[in-house]
Amino acid sequence: MSEERDVMEFDLLVVGAGPAGLSCAIHAKQLNPELNVCVLEKGATVGSHILAGAVIEPGPLEELLPNWKDNAPEVCVPVSRDEIRMMSAQGSFKFPIVPPQMNNHGNYIVSLSSLTQKMAEAAEELGVEIYPGFPARMPLYNEAGEVIGVRTGDMGVDKDGNPKDGYTPGMDLHAKLTVFAEGARGSCSKQLVAKYGLDAQADPQTYGIGIKELWQLPPGRTEPGLVMHTMGWPLDNKTYGGSFVYHLEDDKLAIGFVVGLDYEDPHLEPFEKFQEFKNHPHIKPLLEGGEIVSYGARAIVEGGWQSLPKMEMPGAALIGCGAGTLNVPKIKGVHQAIRSGMEIAKQFHEKASAEGFDARVREGAIGAELKRVRNIRPSFHWGLWVGLMISGLETLFAGLLPYTLRNRADHSALKKVSTHKPLTPGNRDLPPRDRLSAVYFAATEHDEDQPVHLRVEDTNICVTRCAEEYDNPCTRFCPAKVYEMVEVDGAKQLQINAANCVHCKTCDIKDPYQIINWVTPEGGAGPNYQLM
């Protein structure tokens, strides 16, 4: 459809109202109230697509909004105690000491979706224009090949791509600088990395999938402020990952599980591992009799220093988890995302362009924090025990040992189905029963009459090579059961239940043939996370 599109001009355009994007918008206005700043967000409201643990380091937030606690997020509990456990099938072993990167003294457990709502309020008070329900569909370029802005998605297109009654074409937003803050595996960011070769000097980016549930428990069971992490069971020693269990106020509990997407076994189902974990004798008594309030999943960026792409290009910059500034051993990305947002705002204020931003990040606090811990996550390629050993050494020497371990792309780690025995399902009887009943608690919504936003380039591969080589792992790694192999007239074919998608981006990352392309659906579609 080629029609005249409305154009709007801004000084600064931010894609994504996560902690990174909002910090950028807020700080830009703090530095220069005259600026015309616009933030686009694909979720129906700010925070509706945001999911994290989340234990945050408050330093950078305090610097950005010194009074943030006056308008505190709905969940905001100071950490009272840390616990780390190594799990086995029946028991668990509590680490006598908490390694420094896992020590959360002085940190807060918050709902990140709620925190971003509060940050959005602060931004609007400063005069930032925030538009939830308007995804950036694609970057726009000028003839010189510079980024000049983005085009928002069309509304009211039917599933075959034809305009419906209320058809409303997306519009073009132009800006002096466009900042992409889309979080892990951003759909515009992916195009930009490819177009400008931003990853030429970096290792491939790597990810994990995090699945989370919020529970309401019977009174008196929680210890508000307790932060527990586990390693080991139900994952084998070759698979990176573990759980987080955060005790909130009002008898609420945030519980989640992260699996490194460099896992090898094509049979693995991250959702099932999480459910097995919940049924461990140490965890089950906590949950039994409670009820699940919210469910969701999101990719988490794990590549760290080695995988950090170049964060600038003509006319634009990448910030936060869209670039990959998260500190993996700490499993914390919020403070780094906020820093990167403030940094690009300073850069724009001083230089009016992105040129020099990349060096600024690497040489500043963000780079220093990433560099120090760069070898910890990749050391787990050799399994849990070697990983723990190297992590200990690296921590002892504060990252000063003169080597850097390499990262490889997650999709390339998957082994053929013939090399692995099928997994036996674990015992579990706590809800949710399966992925479909879980997804109900993500309150996700997509108009069914719109083009499928999970673009599979070649669905023949699904029934031929993929079925044989990997037994269609998409039917297992997706936490919302979007992909199913169904039989139609005696022949197998791929069915995509796009309406269930929770926008975690796992399929885009882990598909072994890299033929799944996640694109933005109609504005406002997707999960409606509450307190996640």
Ligand X SMILES: Cc1cc2nc3c(=O)[nH]c(=O)nc-3n(C[C@H](O)[C@H](O)[C@H](O)COP(=O)(O)OP(=O)(O)OC[C@H]3O[C@@H](n4cnc5c(N)ncnc54)[C@H](O)[C@@H]3O)c2cc1C
* Contact set with ligand X (CB under 6 A): 15-21, 40-43, 49-56, 112, 135-136, 181-183, 186-188, 210, 212, 256, 258, 298, 300, 320-322, 326, 331-335, 337, 520
The rounded Cα 137 to chain-centroid distance in angstroms is 18
Does 72 sit near another protein (CB under 8 A)?
Answer: no
The side-by-side arrangement of strands in the sheet containing 76-78 is: 55-56, 108-110, 76-78
Tokens of 4: 């005249």
Tokens of 523: 């504005």
* Whole-angstrom distance, CA of residue 111 vs CA of residue 176: 33
Phi, psi (degrees; rounded to nearest 5) at 86: -100, 125
Nearer to ligand X, 19 or 378 (CB): 19
Smallest distance, another protein to C-beta of residue 291, A: 8
Q: Which residues pair with 152 in a beta bridge?
A: 136
Does 126 sit near another protein (CB under 8 A)?
Answer: no
Does 255 sit near ligand SF4 (CB under 6 A)?
Answer: no
Name residues whose C-beta falls within 8 Å of residue 2's C-beta, 6 or more positions apart in sequence: none
Cis peptide before 54 (omega within 30 of 0): yes
Q: Which of 202, 377, 399 is CA-nearest to residue 302?
A: 377
Smallest distance, another protein to C-beta of residue 52, A: 15
Pair type for strands 163-168 and 172-180? unpaired
DSSP-derived letter for residue 260 is E
Does 331 sit near ligand SF4 (CB under 6 A)?
Answer: no
Nearer to ligand X, 19 or 494 (CB): 19
Residue 20 near which of ligand SF4, ligand X, another protein, none (CB within 5-8 Å, type-dependent): ligand X
Residue 482 near which of ligand X, ligand SF4, another protein, none (CB within 5-8 Å, type-dependent): ligand SF4
Give the range of 54-62, 262-270, 273-281, 500-508 binding ligand SF4 by CB under 6 A. Answer: 500-508
| Residue 58 · residue 69 · CB < 8 Å | no
Cis peptide before 234 (omega within 30 of 0): yes
Residue 77 near which of ligand SF4, another protein, ligand X, none (CB within 5-8 Å, type-dependent): none
Does 478 sit near ligand SF4 (CB under 6 A)?
Answer: yes
Nearer to ligand SF4, 298 or 330 (CB): 298
Residue 251 near which of ligand X, ligand SF4, another protein, none (CB within 5-8 Å, type-dependent): another protein
* Whole-angstrom distance, CA of residue 98 vs CA of residue 109: 18
Contact characters 433-462, ligand SF4, x per CB under 6 A: ---------------------x--------
Nearer to another protein, 330 or 503 (CB): 503
The rounded Cα 513 to chain-centroid distance in angstroms is 22
Among 104, 116, 506, 520, binds ligand SF4 (CB under 6 A): 506
Does 530 sit near another protein (CB under 8 A)?
Answer: yes
Among 93, 385, 397, 440, binds another protein (CB under 8 A): 440
Among 411, 503, 521, 528, binds ligand SF4 (CB under 6 A): 503
Residues 159-188 that bind another protein (CB under 8 A): 165-166, 168, 171
CA diameter of the chain? 65
Q: Which residues pair with 214 in a beta bridge?
A: 254, 294
Nearer to another protein, 205 or 528 (CB): 528
Tokens of 11: 């000084």
Distances (CA, A) of 148 to 195, 198, 497: 14, 17, 35
Count of H helices and E strands in the chain? 16, 24
Smallest distance, ligand SF4 to C-beta of residue 368, A: 33
Among 134, 271, 518, 529, binds ligand SF4 (CB under 6 A): 518
Smallest distance, ligand SF4 to C-beta of residue 261, A: 11
CB count, 10 Å around CB of 183? 27
| 3-state secondary structure at position 346 | helix
Name residues whose C-beta falls within 8 Å of residue 383's C-beta, 6 or more positions apart in sequence: 237, 238
Among 23, 45, 178, 500, binds another protein (CB under 8 A): 45
* Whole-angstrom distance, CA of residue 16 vs CA of residue 20: 8
* Whole-angstrom distance, CA of residue 138 vs CA of residue 147: 11
SS3 content of the chain, % helix, strand, coil (to 5): 30, 25, 45
Does 528 sit near another protein (CB under 8 A)?
Answer: yes
Nearer to ligand X, 473 or 521 (CB): 521
How buried is 289 (Cβ within 10 angstroms: 0-12 exposed, 13-18 middle, 19+ buried)? exposed
Residue 454 near which of ligand SF4, another protein, ligand X, none (CB within 5-8 Å, type-dependent): ligand SF4
Pair type for strands 76-78 and 55-56? unpaired
Give the range of 82-90, 272-280, 484-492, 504-512 binding ligand SF4 by CB under 6 A. Answer: 504-512
Residues 264-303 that bind another protein (CB under 8 A): 293
Residue 293 near which of another protein, ligand X, ligand SF4, none (CB within 5-8 Å, type-dependent): another protein
Does 114 sit near another protein (CB under 8 A)?
Answer: yes
Residue 8 near which of ligand X, ligand SF4, another protein, none (CB within 5-8 Å, type-dependent): another protein
* Whole-angstrom distance, CA of residue 483 vs CA of residue 500: 10
| 3-state secondary structure at position 27 | helix
Smallest distance, ligand X to C-beta of residue 50, A: 5
Interface with another protein (CB under 8 A):
6, 8, 44-45, 48, 74-75, 111, 113-114, 129, 131, 133-134, 152, 155-156, 165-166, 168, 171, 216, 219, 250-251, 293, 440-441, 443, 445, 523, 528, 530-531
Interface with ligand SF4 (CB under 6 A):
454, 478-480, 482, 501-507, 518
